[in-house]
Structure 1
Amino acid sequence: MQQHIGPEYSGPLGILQALADGTKLLLKEDLLPSRENIRLFRVGPSIAVISILLSYVVISSGYHLVLADLSIGVFLWIAISSIVPIGLLMSGYGSNNKYSFLGGLRAAAQLISYEISLTICVLAISLHVIHWNMNFFFSFLEKR
């Protein structure tokens, strides 16, 4: 597929391969469809990427290393990650090509189907944890 030297041959221990691939990605020509809706075509992928990056705000990296300590962290994470299919639909529709639009619809449907099962699992665990906390709270009140 790609005519380049493998990572084991480029530089010491293949370290230079990542630098070469990053440079190649930055220098690639940006091809745009001729009859596109420029706003939707540009904003769609950025909405998807920004919502994925925003979802890392609620994930703690350590006990004292939390970007935002929110009491609704799991639910905010689900809400932010559910914005990604909108970005996929926007970019597929913005290309003004029926095959790209169908690809965007397929990708959005796939993400929505994954999010439904993920949300059910996360909500079940959250309700179970809330139940544990309520039992702890009531047992603490009975001891007093």
Structure 2
Amino acid sequence: MPLKRCNAPACRSYVDWAERYCEKHKGYADKQYNKDVRYTRENNKRYSYYHSREWKLLREQKLRENNYHCAVCASQGRLNKSNRLVVHHKHRELRDVINDLQARTDLNNLEVLCQYHHNQVTFGKEAGPGD
């Protein structure tokens, strides 16, 4: 496969054509993604809701309702004691309900997931053989 230079400034390392950065500069891709995609003006406006008092109270209410357990793990009969729980919008994502107060605060649209199951739901990955 042909090689090209790493995209980091002043780096002289070569990487595969499909790669952007060498092993030393892998973190640059994340920084660029954050700059170009995650922290754009539109996304900052939309996702600042997750830092609001309203969301924090709603999140805590849903966590207490589910006894701080992942819904998927509980349905499989497992007890997940993870401290990395995510309150996830099930049917309608935040971007769809951001301007609708009633839909945004609907507890029936929220579910508690552990980080593992949240990533599976969000990114559409299938469960591994051990799950």
For normalisation by structure 1, the TM-score amounts to 0.25
Larger radius of gyration: 1
The structure whose RCO (Cα within 8 Å, separation 6+) is larger is 1
Between structures 1 and 2, the one with greater helix share: 1
Q: Which has a greater percent of strand?
A: 2
The normalised TM-score by structure 2 is 0.27
